[in-house]
Each structure stands twice: as C-alpha cells, then as structure tokens.
Amino acid sequence: MVTTSSTTDPLIGRLIDGRYQVRSRIARGGMATVYLATDLRLERRVAVKVMHGHLADDSQFKQRFIQEARSAARLAHPNVVNVFDQGQDEDSAYLVMEYLPGITLRELLQEHGALTPEQTIDIAEAVLAGLAAAHKAGIVHRDLKPENVLLADDGRIKIGDFGLARAATANTATGAALLGTIAYLSPELVTRGVADTRSDIYAVGIMMYEMLAGEQPYKGEQPMQIAYQHANDSVPPPSNVNPNVPAELDELVLWATARDPEERPRDARMMLEQLRDTEALLHTALPTAATAIQKTIVMPAARQSTAETQVLGGRAPLSAQETGPVSPNAAKLSAKAAGRRRRGWIAVVLVVVLAIAAGGAGWWFGAGPGAHITIPTSVVNMTPDAARAELEALGIEVADEVAQVNSIDVPKDLVAGTDPKAGTSIRRGTVVTLQVSLGPAPTTIGALAGLTRAAAVQAIDDAKLVLDEKVVEQFSDQEKGIVLSATARDADVSAGSTALFEGDTVSLVVSAGILPTIAGLTPEEATEALEKAGLRVSADQQRSYSDTVTKDTVISLVDPGGPLHPDDEVLLLISDGPEPVTIPEIVGLGWIAAQKQLADAGLVFQYWNNNSELLGKNVPGIAVVQEIDPPSGAVPKGSTIRVRLSAG
C-alpha cells in the first residue's frame, strides 16, 4: 500500500455512517484506501479502510473485503491490528481498525537497509506471535510482507491486512491469478496455488532474509521471473550478502524457506519457539575478532564445546546452565551452524591477519563496523551541555550551533532531538546538530460556540490542539450536538483564541438538546417526556399554588440549581391550584373602602342585585356594604364575592 495524501479526495471531511469523521488519507492500495478518522461516538482516532468504488460491484472483491474484517475480528492478540467495525455507507464498503501512528517494516527497510540481528529477532518474534494466534484460530494470512507489518511509535509491532486470509484447513487453490505479493509467495503457492500455515512461515523466512541482508533473495525484471526462482531455487543464506549474520539465524531462515513444505516448521508457534531458543544461544555480545581468534588458538580443541567456544556472529553463546534446556530443533540448528563456522574460521583468521597487517585500527574505524556509531536516544530531554558531553564521550562530533525547534513533548530549553535523528547509525566524522526545544508552537483557533460537535473536533485538530476526552453534555435552548462553550488553559475560548499553544487541551460543553415543555401535563405525561430526553424523574414531588396551572398538573421542574445533564435526576413541581385567601370583613364599610380590600385580597366582586349595582356605580361614596356571599371563610384566590349595598 502506497502512502499518500490529497486535498481533493472527496472522502476527506465526510462523515461515514453518521459516526466516522474522515480527517486525512493515510495510504492507498489496489483494493482500498485507508483514512485517518475520528470515531465521534467513542471519541478516538481510528483507521478506516474504504474499498475502491470501482470494485463495489465485484462480488468477489467485496466478499474478500468483508472476509478481512471477519478474519481479523476473530483474533484478539497484541501483535494483530484490531478490527472494530465493518459496514456499508452508500456505495462504499468499509472496515474500521485501530489507528497505529508509526511506519511499516517496508519503510524501515527503505530507510536503514539491513537490520541488526537483534532488531530482526525482535520484529520476527512479534510477527510470529501474532501469526501463531491466527494459526491457532485456524486462519492463514497468505499475504505476509513488510508492508503489512506495522511498527507503532510506542514500540508495538502488529500484523495487519488479513484481506487474503482463509481457513487453515481449506487449502483452497487460487486459480490462475496468484494472490499475495510475488516476492513472498511460497513454492507451493506458485506451482499449485495451495496455501496452508507453512506458506505463511515461508513468507516470514523471506522477510527475515530481507531484514538481515537488506535485499530480497530473488530479483528479476518480470514478476514471473521471481516466481520461477521461488519455485525452482533454494533461498541462499543471508550471510552470503551480510557476513555479520550469525550462522544460527542463517539456519533458521533456511529452515523457514525450505522448498518442500514438509521440511519447514509446521506453524508459527513452532517457529516462534525455535526463534526464542536461537535468541537464547545468541544472548551475549560477540567478542572482538582478535579475542575470538585468541580463544581459538589458546583453548585446547578438546575443550571447545558448542556451549563454551563458538562465536555466534554478533553474540557469544551462554552456557547450558545460563540458557536452560535447549529444544531438539535448536540443537540441530546449532550443530549445522557449528559446521558452517568451522569451515569459515580459516577465512576469518586470514581476514583478521590481513586487517592487522594493513592497520587493524584503520580498517575498523575506516571501513569496518567501527566506522559507524548509533546516536543514543538518551540525549532527548537532557540539557544541551549534558547531551553534548554524552555524544562527544562516544566519539560523535557535535556542531557548535544548536537548532531550535518547537516540541509538544519536550520542555523548553531541553534537547528535543538531533539531526540526524537519534537512534540512527551514522559514519564517524558525521557532525550531529542538537535540536533544542522552544516548547510548543503558538496556535490560534476560531469561534467554537455554535459549531456542530464534528466541526469543532475538526477545528481543534487543525489547530494541533488536543480534545479533552470528557465532553460535557447539558440541556440548553440549542439543538443537540451544538457547542455551547469551550475552555483551554482555564480560559473561555468559546469565541476563539490567539493565546494557545500546540498540544493544549480544549474542553467542550455540547448541547444535549432542548428540554421538553411539561407545564400543564399530568405527572405521568411529564415523566415519559423527560425520560425520553434522557433524564431520570424522582418518585418524590413538590407542590405549589399556581394561578395559571390547573390543580394536580405539572407547573415545571424544581430548580436544579445549575445546568441539567443527561442522566441527572429531576423533581417535578405539581400545582395545587390558586392559593386560598380569607374573605375580608367588609360588612358595614363604605363601598369605596370595601372594594379596595376585596381587590387587595385577590377577590372579584359581583353586585347582589340591580339596586346594589345602581348604588355602587352612581353613589359609591354613600353606599355601604350590607351583606356579602359567602359571608366569611377562605376561598381560592380569584373567587367571586357577591356584595349587597345600601344607601346607609
């Protein structure tokens, strides 16, 4: 799969299946394109693999795409890329995988060429561990290659792309079209189109060869030329290209790549056990060539047992007591390696003698292993003076001037890295420049309040800020999903900010929707509406008088004292109707004073008869209250009182 990016890709910015917000393109291959996306439901980054549109109508490709999801989903192993979801959005079939920032093994090989035996063992061990889980689950990968081995920035190593996986017992022929990559196809796949667990082992062996030798074992201008060599030739030892490869690793590669499947490890678990035995044999570092020759010359031949005197191309062996019991397979490989080493000792002695004669030190530091040195990663987070001292103590030349770079992870004024990059191997004499942190780079962000949640997440990411995983939802007068407010560095950035730095955390408050109107509903109706909105309604209730809401219906919620959030518990306020008032004692009072007292009490008067109406309207200053109905007691506020008036 080829890494690429494009601003014109129509999927970038699209929301897939209402859940996955596509942010950028990671890579594009023959069957599908992989995008970096945000899972809005779980607030995490994921990789979304979308099948090419022109393949959507091809049922065979579509079935193979779905098979990848099913095969990977059956596996739960730290060395296998997790598959979270699979589905169809309009015309696009997609699957959702965990996102692993980092590089592929292919990119590592392109950058460094041959790897060290230790690096090769580490990577092969992780690949075989994941592959062993697949084989145990009855799955054959069938497309193992460096492009499908992911090396995460945090050190994890995982196998991905199970698009060609099949049941291990199916042994299904592929027909005329060979599936997988030619450079890693086993002879039986080339000649008969049949694969089982041993075909995966062959691919692992080819990858180990490539890691150790820095190149593939077979070359050709046409793919079929390479396929012919796989079918008819035996893979040579990687030490033919890289003499520093230990003989034990040579034998392991040759075992894994045997042309006859019966002569290979039967599955990944068997090869993993053998790799670990081999690693135990190669546990300590290789002595210098002169020391090795001295041991060969001085120690009596009768005492030169495998465990005591063999020098294992980069590591000295441990004693049996140190390594523990060794498997029969390891013993066989070690015996083969010992034979190859004995045949090579004369050549080694001659080389060293010639090197010493020509100036051993000059060879070592001019063209041999001593010509290179690895920049230690330990200088990161040191002060520049301490880092300079450590590098110069290793013989690395350091530039007088430092480079200043922004860094999210490294505090200001400490070393953030080096140029060339820390961890890389350089020739002696190469000048290394220290990169000193300026701290995070300044960044700005526009207004977030009023945006949709997805748009706000994209804006935060574009500004190289970090979204707080805990997004607060609260009910408001805005539609669900609209950003209400945002904070960063303990300041309100709802309207945007120019005082932020890359890596700052932004916290969002998002609307959970508008609360339903419940005034005038029965308690049962209000409870149903509120629970549908996501609130919990308490069995307790409060009651209050209301001049406007009918008795025994809901007035409102009891004031919660702050914003309401989904799953909060609320209390209903129920109406007791209008508040009762005491009828004032107005019999015998003049009508003007009596009328005011009735009004102050919230009562309404009505003239008793026509005579009272006439007196009340025409001669209010003379009229006196003679009788009222009801005569006394408490009545609901707003009640009508009949008043009989006389002329005094």
Q: Give me the pLDDT at residue 366, please.
A: 47
Low-confidence ranges of the chain (pLDDT < 70): 1-8, 30, 54-62, 64-65, 67-72, 163-180, 284-371
Q: Give me the pLDDT at residue 292, please.
A: 36
- Residue 265 Cα distances to 159, 359, 360, 541, angstroms: 20, 45, 42, 73
Could you tell me the maximum CA-CA distance found in the chain, to the nearest angstrom?
Answer: 147
Distance CA 327, CA 39 (A): 47
Where along the chain do its domains lie?
1-99, 103-284, 285-360, 369-437, 442-511, 523-575, 580-646
Q: Give me the pLDDT at residue 315, please.
A: 36
CATH class of 103-284: mainly alpha
1-99: in CATH 3.30.200.20: yes
Residues in contact with 320: Cβ distance below 8 Å, sequence separation at least 6, in sequence order: 307, 326
Dihedral of CA atoms 293, 294, 296, 300 in degrees, nearest 10, equals 170
> Partners of 103 in the beta sheet?
151
Distance CA 265, CA 271 (A): 6
Contact assessment for residue 280 and residue 318, using Cβ atoms and an 8 Å cutoff = yes
- Stated as kind and residue range, the H or E segment containing 354 is helix 328-357
Distance CA 133, CA 79 (A): 9
Distance CA 542, CA 574 (A): 6
Residues in contact with 481: Cβ distance below 8 Å, sequence separation at least 6, in sequence order: 452, 453, 454, 510, 511
Distance CA 484, CA 493 (A): 11
- Residue 99, Ramachandran bin (φ over 0: left; ψ between -120 and 50: alpha; else beta): beta
Q: Give me the pLDDT at residue 177, please.
A: 37
* Residue 146 DSSP class: G
Q: Give me the pLDDT at residue 91, please.
A: 72
Q: Let me know if 313 is exposed, middle or buried by CB neighbors in 10 A (0-12, 13-18, 19+).
A: buried
Least Cα distance to 134 among 105, 165, 155, 164 occurs for 165
Least Cα distance to 131 among 31, 207, 235 occurs for 207
Q: Which one-letter amino acid corresponds to residue 233?
A: D
Contact assessment for residue 160 and residue 147, using Cβ atoms and an 8 Å cutoff = no
580-646: in CATH 3.30.10.20: yes
Residue 419: count of CB within 10 angstroms of its CB: 15
Residue 321: count of CB within 10 angstroms of its CB: 7
Q: Give me the pLDDT at residue 588, please.
A: 92
Task: Estimate the share of the chain in helix, then strand, then coil, as percent rounded to the nearest 5.
Answer: 35, 25, 40
CATH topology of domain 442-511: Trypsin Inhibitor V; Chain A (3.30.10)
523-575: in CATH 3.90.1170.50: no
Q: Give me the pLDDT at residue 60, please.
A: 66
Residue 286: count of CB within 10 angstroms of its CB: 18
Residues in contact with 522: Cβ distance below 8 Å, sequence separation at least 6, in sequence order: 552, 553, 554
* Phi and psi torsions of 449, nearest 5°: -60, 135
Q: Give me the pLDDT at residue 295, please.
A: 33
Distance CA 99, CA 542 (A): 51
Q: Give me the pLDDT at residue 55, please.
A: 67
Q: Let me know if 208 is exposed, middle or buried by CB neighbors in 10 A (0-12, 13-18, 19+).
A: buried
Contact assessment for residue 242 and residue 257, using Cβ atoms and an 8 Å cutoff = no
CATH topology of domain 369-437: Trypsin Inhibitor V; Chain A (3.30.10)
Give the active site residues: 143
- Domain 369-437 and domain 523-575, same fold? Reply is yes
Distance CA 354, CA 368 (A): 13
